[in-house]
Amino acid sequence: MSMDWQQLLEVASEAADAGGNVLSAHWRSLNQIRSKGRPGDLVTEADLAAEAAVLQVLAERTPDIGVLAEESGLSQGSSEELQWCVDPLDGTTNYAHGFPFFACSVGLLHLGRPILGSVVAPGVQQHYRGGRGLGATCNGEPLQVSSCSALSDALLVTGFAYDRREVVDNNYSEFCHFSHITHGVRRGGAASLDLAFVAAGSLDGYWERGLQPWDLAAGVALVEAAGGVVCDYSGQPLDLSNGRVLACPEALQSALIDGLAQCKPLPPELYNASIPPATS
């Protein structure tokens, strides 16, 4: 296989479009919604059909590149440097309820780091794409992260993992903390779109825990391509296996890291949850 980054971005966009078309076709006409085990962790026939459409494009266009997909898992390729990460329906709970904040996300890792990606959001008619050295766009218009430099002026976004009912480290404390010192904190329910909105400057920063590589790959590439910075909670380079991400303009990074460091888990009794107390 001989392709450059621009050609691979075209492949990512084609694959995400294929998945997005399937999501549009199934929108508000689902026959089956089932749980994967945890409350709120859903899968539908649209997830499976969209993933099949994405994988078909990737197999035809880049047969040498392995794929890590949310529903079907890992398929190895001959390339030792590249791997696709596919979330066929990011925001399944939103989608199942008829809330139009969802996306098909296709990202490419190079040596384990997000390098480019495409996020197609049929519900809001937006197609994001971008990559390192390629810039980032939404519906063909160039993107740039916001110029916000103070948390007091920032609008942030976050999310809550499916295990939030089972663990004390559930992001409730962080949500409360930043809600009080910013213009507000939104909860979109689709990590790839949260990151795309940061890339577009519509939101000033994003943090979340409990994420998987397919949740992050495309969106992280978009933020970096739009001039933003992405790291873990401590400011170290992003580790996709860690599941913790912070994305924002560089001017907000230190303040967000400091804010996250200040937060301690809320006692479960404050929100009536049956979570065992944290051990020291």
Residue 8's Cβ-count burial label (10 Å; 0-12, 13-18, 19+) is buried
Strand runs labelled E in the chain: 33-35, 42-44, 66-69, 73-75, 82-90, 103-110, 113-121, 126-131, 135-138, 141-142, 155-158, 184-187, 205-208, 229-231, 245-248
Q: CB neighbours (10 Å) of residue 80?
A: 8
Res 83: pLDDT: 98
Res 280: pLDDT: 45
Nearest-CA neighbor of 74 among 63, 82, 61, 84? 84
- Provide the residue-wise pLDDT of the chain in tens; the chain has 280 residues: 557 999 999 999 999 999 999 999 999 887 766 665 555 556 688 889 999 999 999 999 999 999 999 999 999 999 999 999 999 999 999 999 999 999 999 999 999 999 999 999 999 999 999 999 999 999 999 999 999 999 999 999 999 987 777 788 899 999 999 999 999 999 999 999 999 999 999 999 999 999 999 999 999 999 999 999 999 999 999 999 999 999 999 999 999 999 999 999 888 877 765 555 555 4
**Whole-structure pTM value:** 0.92
Res 41: pLDDT: 54
Q: CB neighbours (10 Å) of residue 15?
A: 28
Residue 79's Cβ-count burial label (10 Å; 0-12, 13-18, 19+) is middle
Res 89: pLDDT: 96
Angstrom CA distances, 104 to 22, 94, 101, 121, 168, stand at: 10, 13, 11, 7, 30
Go through the domains of the chain in sequence order and give each one's CATH number.
Answer: 5-138 (3.30.540.10), 151-264 (3.40.190.80)
